Amino acid sequence: MTFEPSSNHRTTAPRPRRRKRTWAVLSCMAIAAVVIGGAEPAQATSAVHPAAAGHRADGSLPKLNPQVLQRAISSAPNRVTGALARVSGPAGHWTGTYGVADTATQQPVPFDGRFRLGSVTKTFIATVMLQLAAEHRVDLDQPVQYYLPDVLPAGYPPIPVRTLLNFTSSLPELTADDMPSTPDAIVQHRFDDHPLSQLVAKAVRHDRPFTEPGSMQAYGATGYYVAAMLVEKLTGHSYEQEITSRILHPLHLRYTTAPETDPTISGPHAHGYLAVPQSDGGSKLVDVTEQNPGAGGMISTTADLDRFLTALFRGRLLAPAQMKELLAVPRVPYLGGSEKDPGQGWAYYSAGLMRATIPGRDGHPSVTVWGKTGSTYGYTDGMFTSPDLRRRLVYCFNPVTGGGNDMVLVNQIITAAFAP
């Protein structure tokens, strides 16, 4: 079973003094793989939190194995500069780190480090949209065009709002030709602004992946660009403000932010790097920690994401009808899907979440988990839980090969947590 979304030198790119609020494409484009070549990997260190010494399992989940978890987060030294993971719940607790937070100082990755969420932000946007539906401010069955009449091309069929959230909208995606996609270009343009309307306008120049909205599922970002625009149209506030007032403040997520323009990460954090090829055939790690916050610009910690996931599945954020909507996976084919996908050829995303089943081992039954992965340059993360919240996982690692999920490493971490 696999899960789907792909230096000591600090960059000198200027930081803009003032920018209008926009959404930058950092987490949703296809990024070409970068070969590290002759670059020397950062000297890595490993650490295990004292909580790893005490854990207990229930009757349905395998007992946690700290050694397997530590090996999982430490298994990609040539692709990752640092990693941290947290397992919580009645079925076991464990926290571990690997690598360095800064390749220049060699400081270890902090257990309470903050990181960029990438597409995990979609889960927050979906939650806000479902809250608006509960308030009768948006009808999920109404076409997007009813609320945003001038955003999509005139020739498009009606696109129900619901399809934006569950990835069945048929909206096309940006390609590598639409935005900077080579390492050098990414570094040079990582502070660029890309308004939501501009991103959607670029995406809809391409052909739609299928004809009938709601008939197939294909993971992508354009639907959530439009959903964020819809939040702003309905509320008169930025989607970041709505996430902050509706989710972050009520849940007291003190170390989670939804920045609009600030390119920095405050507080303890591991730096993000990008391997940039050099003329000698090797590569140089360039610090890309500071970047336009835009898409995937939310920042959090493993503890805060664990609190969010717990509150979400306990129904603290959504009423029963909206919880049902949150977890409704459409029974439609997944575009280009196969038996190796979590859905085995069928849809496996709901409204901002994904569902996957991990095969059982050693007499234990298979485990179904819900969660979301995310990635932006220098940061790949995810949050997953068993439906009963008895075991929850939040992780982040710092890949040097771009903004795509390292699915081999993601699978190792998730499997180590739920089926060691």
Look at residue 136 and give its three-state secondary structure: coil
How far is 344 from 206, CA to CA, in rounded Å? Answer: 28
| Residue 262 CB contacts under 8 Å (≥ 6 apart), including other chains | 293
Cβ–Cβ < 8 Å for 261, 268: no
Q: Which residue has the tokens 């050829």?
A: 345
**Sign (positive or negative) of CA dihedral 7, 280, 375, 49:** negative
363: Cα separation from own chain's centroid: 32
- Phi and psi for 102 in degrees, rounded to 5? -145, 120
| Residue 232 host element (H or E) | helix 222-235
| Buried b / exposed e along 342-362 (16+ C-beta atoms within 10 A) | bbeeebbbbbbbbbbbbeeee
How far is 148 from 388, CA to CA, in rounded Å? Answer: 38
Q: Is 119 tagged catalytic?
A: yes
Active-site residue identified among 7, 27, 74, 119: 119
| Residue 127 host element (H or E) | helix 121-134
| Enzyme catalytic residues | 119
